[in-house]
Structure 1
Amino acid sequence: MPRVALSSPPLDPKVADLVPADPAVTTYDEEHIVTYLRLLDADAEGADWRDVSRILLHIDLDRAAGRARRAFESHLSRARWMTEQGYLHLLRGGV
């Protein structure tokens, strides 16, 4: 079987307000896998969502607190989905 070169995901991609709600892994998910891992780590450490939104998602809470909260919750939820279901799609070869 020929080897396929996998590209590395960006380390700090720009985030959308909401993640895709697709039942399969999307290109967005693959580009944000590092973000998802960082979110899961921050959640496991009990980090405050405001700090995570500011540092990890780069959203200014003074200007967009609602957006920051929605983006945080959306991305964390998708990160959890990736650990429960999405990873199977990646193991099969991804998008």
Structure 2
Amino acid sequence: MSRNLDPEVADEVPWSDKITPYDESHYVTYMRVLDAERDGADWQEVARIVLHRDPVAEPERTYRCWEAHLKRAHWMTHTGYRRILRNERDSLQ
């Protein structure tokens, strides 16, 4: 399966207790946001590079977009990955 390594992002992450099609197409986005957080990168730089948002022109919209994707990325690492593994396991049986 090929993945777009730099997909366009929505302002808001569609939230669900399940892995969504949006999540599936944005795994790389989530990893990039988490890597940037770990490295101590400035959120505005991350928003510009990863989320394709302009923090100078639209600071509130950009911050909300960055915050939403970071929150979902954390959900994926704490909860969502279990669902991915469970789906993989179920498909093997």
Q: TM-score, normalised by structure 2?
A: 0.89
Q: Give 1:27's aligned residue.
A: 21
Q: Give 1:15's aligned residue.
A: 9
Alpha-carbon RMSD: 1.2
Q: Which runs of 4+ in 1 moved over 6 A?
A: none
Which of 71, 77, 87 is residue 77 of structure 1 equivalent to? Answer: 71
Question: What's the offset of the Cα at 1:8?
Answer: 2.6
Q: Give 2:32's aligned residue.
A: 38
Which of 16, 32, 56 is residue 62 of structure 1 equivalent to? Answer: 56
Letter in 2 for 1:92: R
Q: Output the CA distance in 1 between the equivalents of 2:32 and 2:56.
A: 23
Which structure: greater helix fraction?
Answer: 2
Percent identity at matched positions?
51
Q: Output the CA distance in 2 between the equivalents of 1:78 and 1:16.
A: 13
Q: What are the superposed Cα offsets for residues 27-60 of structure 1, whole Å, 9 maximum, x if unpaired?
A: 0001000000000000000111000001111111
Q: TM-score, normalised by structure 1?
A: 0.87
Question: Structure 1 stretches of 5 or more lacking a match?
Answer: 1-6
Letter in 1 for 2:39: E
Alignment length, in residue pairs? 88
